[in-house]
A and B are shown apart, each in its own frame.
Chain A
């Protein structure tokens, strides 16, 4: 009569950190990578990505509609799913998720939900997903305690590096129209005129970084924040020509008054949109990336580990 047997666990098979030591004679070790090669067809990691992407797209849209309406904050959380997918499953998955979100939202969803203005910005969304894939590969969204001085150093170093790039970009963007078109160097006077915008972004960054380092005590959170800042910068740079080309230099999402102000000061089509974008996108993406980090660190380890990029996200928890 068959029975379920309750026996001692096999001795000596557990090593430090749970790694498997050797093979048992009666058993056969199959790792996730091996079974992928065993199968031929589709590897298991790939099917998680295939299952993830539709969920992430729907999440983007739900966050951008229902949650957006509930909180009414000027944050476009509709890139959170894209960032998560990029970080968990790589750049290509991130790009597809981003582009698909905007295309479905603009053209496929039925009338009350459809947002046709989102369509052209599918390019921006794809770039955000691509960058997130890069950040994930670099292991930026991993938890790193502040005590680890190397992590702290890396975080601060990254912040300084990105800060320099941001300052340069602001100086170029806020330069006089003539300077914007002709010079490529750091323009001190133009930088002075971008003071307000730059100050806003920097204040937000410092406040969130302080929270990350002193309240959360996680250098990984700060790195995620820096990644967000960089992502926001790139998003603004990508969106500005799209807005100029297809929307006549407005963005259609509010902030058009800000654009008007910049235009009144003499900025060109692309320049005014860029200046507005540089204000809103870095703030928005910093928060989204920080949220992505917090979400990832609350997920059970085993859930994260089984995604293609999962191993790089399991830090010291």
Chain B
């Protein structure tokens, strides 16, 4: 279970607490949505849930962020990556640009861990299959549509087999058709047992995929 217990966070060098004290839980296979106005801390919430705040970017965290019982503060970033992935709203900033094929791009994560080549191939193929993008395997990542890029980025995270995912406004830059593709992917991930935290404006997406929707900075 991904547990946030009265967490509040402040960026380094900032006087302001970017996230109001928040508590929530995400179980395996559950999709929890969080909505809120701009600047209410949705991105910060995702950063805290994935542990990147404060482990990768510094700053101050109060309260506890636990992934399957372990505090995010005890983990290093590559360990966090294998426990809770994080997807941003800007598709193109998440691809490395180094790889000529989508398959190599998705394999980037497992390769970084130094896993045996057979395992790398297996995880890559599984990730592509789970998100329904096997047909993109040979394509050039630089020439994909926004929605396809977002799915490839998601596959890149899934290849690390994290039990949880935090998606920060995953469809905010996509048109309705592509948003539907991402929504389907989220459903498939949940069906496979991944616990998903989604922050979004898009009411349709929230209504479609979420088991539970919370308001940030408002009532429960």
- Pairs A-B, 7 closest by C-beta atoms: A32-B58, A3-B220, A18-B15, A27-B62, A30-B54, A4-B214, A305-B13
Q: How many residues of A contact B (CB 8 A)?
A: 36
> Which of A5, A28, A35, A301 is the one whose CB lies under 8 Å from B13?
A301
**Bound CA–CA A10/B62 (angstroms):** 10
Q: Which residues of chain A come closer than 8 Å to B38, judged between CB atoms?
A: none
Output the nearest chain A residue to B13 by Cβ-Cβ distance: A305
Of residues 176 to 220 in B, which have CB atoms within 8 Å of A's CB atoms?
214-220
* Mask: chain B, 50-70; 1 = CB below 8 Å from A; 0 = not: 000011111111110000000
Asked if B77 is at the interface of the complex by the 8 Å CB criterion, the answer is yes
Stretch at the interface among B18-26, B120-128, B152-160, B162-170: B18-26
**Quick check: A4 and B216 within 8 Å, CB to CB?**
yes
Q: Which residues of chain A come closer than 8 Å to B10, judged between CB atoms?
A: 20
**Quick check: A41 and B78 within 8 Å, CB to CB?**
yes
CB within 8 Å for A4 and B34 given contacts A28-B61, A32-B57? yes
**Quick check: A10 and B17 within 8 Å, CB to CB?**
yes
**Quick check: A28 and B73 within 8 Å, CB to CB?**
yes
* Mask: chain A, 140-165; 1 = CB below 8 Å from B; 0 = not: 00000000000000000000000000
Asked if A14 is at the interface of the complex by the 8 Å CB criterion, the answer is yes
CB within 8 Å for A35 and B11 given contacts A7-B21, A28-B61? no
**Quick check: B8 and A10 within 8 Å, CB to CB?**
yes
Output the nearest chain B residue to A58 by Cβ-Cβ distance: B97
Shortest distance between the CB of B34 and any CB in chain A (Å): 7
**Quick check: B218 and A6 within 8 Å, CB to CB?**
yes
**Quick check: A14 and B23 within 8 Å, CB to CB?**
no
Shortest distance between the CB of B27 and any CB in chain A (Å): 10
**Quick check: B11 and A2 within 8 Å, CB to CB?**
no
Output the nearest chain A residue to B215 by Cβ-Cβ distance: A4
Q: Which residues of chain A come closer than 8 Å to B217, judged between CB atoms?
A: 4, 6
Q: Which residues of chain A come closer than 8 Å to B216, judged between CB atoms?
A: 4
Of residues 161 to 197 in A, which have CB atoms within 8 Å of B's CB atoms?
none
CB within 8 Å for A2 and B24 given contacts A26-B62, A27-B63, A306-B12? yes
Contacts A2-B214, A35-B57 supplied; 5 other A-B pairs, CB < 8 Å: A17-B15, A27-B61, A32-B12, A32-B59, A44-B57
**Quick check: B77 and A39 within 8 Å, CB to CB?**
yes
**Bound CA–CA A3/B76 (angstroms):** 28
CB within 8 Å for A30 and B14 given contacts A4-B215, A38-B55? no
**Bound CA–CA A306/B11 (angstroms):** 10
Q: Which residues of chain B come closer than 8 Å to A30, judged between CB atoms?
A: 54-55, 58-61, 73
**Bound CA–CA A2/B216 (angstroms):** 12
Q: Which residues of chain A come closer than 8 Å to B11, judged between CB atoms?
A: 302
CB within 8 Å for A4 and B58 given contacts A10-B17, A18-B13, A305-B13? no
Asked if A9 is at the interface of the complex by the 8 Å CB criterion, the answer is yes
Q: Which residues of chain B come closer than 8 Å to A41, judged between CB atoms?
A: 76-78
> Which of A4, A35, A44, A54 is the one whose CB lies under 8 Å from B220?
A4
**Bound CA–CA A265/B56 (angstroms):** 61
**Bound CA–CA A7/B59 (angstroms):** 20
**Bound CA–CA A44/B218 (angstroms):** 33
**Quick check: A9 and B58 within 8 Å, CB to CB?**
no
Output the nearest chain A residue to B62 by Cβ-Cβ distance: A27
**Quick check: A20 and B60 within 8 Å, CB to CB?**
yes
Q: Which residues of chain B come closer than 8 Å to A54, judged between CB atoms?
A: 97
**Bound CA–CA A9/B78 (angstroms):** 32
- Best-buried of B12, B23, B34, B218 by chain A (most CB within 10 Å): B12
Shortest distance between the CB of A190 and any CB in chain B (Å): 51
Output the nearest chain B residue to A4 by Cβ-Cβ distance: B214
- Listed by A's residue number, 14 A-B pairs whose Cβ atoms lie within 8 Å are A3-B220, A4-B22, A4-B214, A4-B215, A9-B8, A26-B62, A27-B60, A29-B60, A33-B58, A35-B55, A35-B56, A35-B57, A35-B58, A44-B56
**Bound CA–CA A4/B79 (angstroms):** 27
